[in-house]
Amino acid sequence: MRARAAPRGPDPHACGTRHHAVGGGAFVGRSRSVETAQPVESWAEFGRRLRAWRRRAGLTQSQLGLRVGYHHSLISRLEAGLREPPAGLVGRLDSVLGTGGELAAVVAAPVGAPYRAEGPPANPRLFAPVPGGGEAPVGQDVLDPLLWPSELPAEGLACPLHGTVGCAVPDQAGTPYLLDLLTAPGGGSDGLPGSESEVLHALTAVLACLIRGALHRGASDGVSTVERLLRALVRWAGAANSSGRLPYGQLRLAAQYAQVAGRLRMQRGQSSIGMAWFGHGLGWADAVHDVPARATLLSDVCTLVRLDRDAGSALAYAEAIGAVDPGRRWVVTLSHLYRARGHALGHDPAECRRHIALARRSFARLGHRDLLEAPWLSGAEGEMRVESAIGGALRDLAAATGDRVTARRAVHATARSCAQLPPLMRETRLLLTLRLADSWACAGDPGAAVALAAPVLDQAVSSRELVINAELRGLHGRLLARWGDMPEVREYRERLPAAGI
């Protein structure tokens, strides 16, 4: 699947549309006050801290109100200390602004005992050493004007501070200087040009370029570039955390970078380093309550354990995806797709088919908010991804049970996926071609399987991509085990003498 952060998600984002659900377009009215009203002085302290966190995040009062589902006039009154903070709003403000619970702590402080933060807001273990080494220069693909986005979201990446509201990105021409400062030995955020939000916007745009270049065009320097920028981003986040400020935007963006780094390592056949990056990404996403990033990172972990043929772990991670937020239909759709594949691996036809049906039903009901958070599930691309996963589950089930009816259903699902495939997704086309060939083999038609696989065989053998290698091994094993004496299968085998497949 094409890397998304997040998006995933991945992304990886919420647009804050809660107020639109109220009849007639009215904004949410006053919630009940917090228990045990505190003196007005505590309201003023809450307002001062709220204003500081909002400005630090680069949000206007209107933007913050939109994110949390309240009118901007309420945000204004809260900041002025003229209103007691509504109980239901405090937690959302902490989450959106990434305060590490500071606003809730202000509200909860005993009368006469003003809140004082103690220790760093995030666990220092989040900033432990990360994978990667060398200090290769940032690749030229990052600087290609043709790949530079005009605004965020781009490539499924929302702004790490402002979500999907739509943010301009800095001019591409100033990016090399910014990246040199950020990644210099001993470098950090001090002396960086522009505000924190502008730097985060630029780094998000850079990641969009890396996705377009490294993942779509096959640029060879993708891993070193992503990892070097990610290490710098983690250093910046660690410094902010040490100063007593939760690095909300930095950690959200780091989770997205980690997902891309992990996928690029998978393209190199490096599953252990890929898993390490996904683990770091999950920690960073959890620290800032980034639901889309957590869901998409868990889907990548699920893919890796499935490649190890561990049905139990695959199902556990697939269920964990759904538990991230059962109220988000796109998250539920992902969970059903991965559970279907896990049950196929575990030789459970009934559960596999049940989750396929549930995935299709949930996918058909995706709403506006779902597609804002997971734009890679919209339109033809979304259909391609869903049918690809369903085709994979049905093929796995057919291989396990020998049921040719199921195999033919896998053929149809995979063919539908191929028909929706964008031209730039060349690695995905190779993957789906091999899967379609294997589905024909499971259906008892080795001639069709060889005819599909033969034109892409050289490309498949030279690939280090983990999922492509797994598809090729499965196809090869089935063809030789059942039809090794057929002339076309012998010819196919002769083309792989040194492949070790």
Please write the tens of the pLDDT for every residue from 261-313. Answer: 999 999 899 999 999 999 999 999 998 888 899 999 999 999 999 999 999 99
Rounded-to-integer distance, Cα 376 and Cα 392, Å = 19
Q: Which of 94-108, 318-332, 361-375, 448-462 is least confident?
A: 94-108
Residue 47 has a CB neighbour count (10 Å cut-off) of 21
Confidence of residue 215 (pLDDT cuts 50, 70, 90): low
Mean pLDDT, rounded, for 6-10: 40
pLDDT of 360 strictly over 90: yes
The type of residue at 43 is: W
Name which residue leads in pLDDT, 16 or 87.
Answer: 87
pLDDT of 18 strictly over 60: no
Rounded-to-integer distance, Cα 160 and Cα 156, Å = 12
% of the chain with per-residue pLDDT over 90: 50
Q: Which residue in 414, 413, 499 sits closest to 457, CA to CA?
A: 499
**Secondary structure letter of residue 152 according to DSSP:** E
Fold of 30-112: 434 Repressor (Amino-terminal Domain) (1.10.260)
Q: Which residues contact 8 (CB under 8 A, 6 or more apart)?
A: 156, 256, 259, 292, 293, 295, 296, 297, 374, 376
Confidence of residue 182 (pLDDT cuts 50, 70, 90): confident
Are 7 and 291 contacting, i.e. CB atoms less than 8 angstroms apart?
no
Name which residue leads in pLDDT, 217 or 68.
Answer: 68
Are 226 and 219 contacting, i.e. CB atoms less than 8 angstroms apart?
no
Confidence of residue 191 (pLDDT cuts 50, 70, 90): low
pLDDT of 10 strictly over 50: no
pLDDT at residue 363 in the model: 98
Q: What is the pTM of this model?
A: 0.78
Determine whether 415 is exposed, middle or buried from the number of CB atoms within 10 Å of its CB (0-12, 13-18, 19+). middle
Parse the chain into domains and list their residue ranges.
Answer: 30-112, 123-289
